[in-house]
Amino acid sequence: MGRNMFAGPGPGPGPWEAGWRGWWGEEPPYHAPVFVLTHHPRRPLQMQGGTTFIFVGGGIESALDQAREAAGGKGVAIAGGAETARQYLSAGLIDEMRLHIAPLLLGAGERLLDGVGTLRLGPLEVSGTRLVTHIRYAVLR
């Protein structure tokens, strides 16, 4: 997970606010270990429902390695905003990408694929409602 996704409203390039526990309340929806990318160390944060946030300062590869180990052979999801997705896409570490598109712009928005380089996507599935469209792509190498 990208730091901004954990940090809540607005980007937070500086140190963590003392006592901040995320924007979802005491029982986050993850129910599994969540590895948060950061440049500011913090002790792991255990929450109700089985979620533990582990703050990783060693970069995207370190976070992914830890997540794969914790998953024990199961799949690993990368969550976050455009910056997190761009880093993993640029490094060739994403096999499948899911986009959830809603007709709402929060702030100025960010361009998801800027700077990623050559990227080929193969559509796998499309679904949605009048409020959101879900698209699943294979990342082709």
Is pLDDT larger for residue 21 or for residue 130?
130
**Per-residue pLDDT tens for 101-110?**
998 877 777 8
| pLDDT (average), residues 4-27 | 74
- Write out the CATH class of domain 1-80: alpha beta
**Per-residue pLDDT tens for 127-138?**
999 999 999 999
Percent of the chain with pLDDT over 90: 65
DSSP 7-74: H-SS---SPPPTT---SS-SS-S--SEEEEE-SS----EE-GGG-EEEEE-S-HHHHHHHHHHHHTTS
Under the phi-then-psi rule, with left for phi > 0, alpha for psi from -120 to 50, and beta for the rest, what region is 68? alpha
Per domain, the residue ranges of the chain are 1-80, 94-141
| pLDDT (average), residues 85-92 | 95
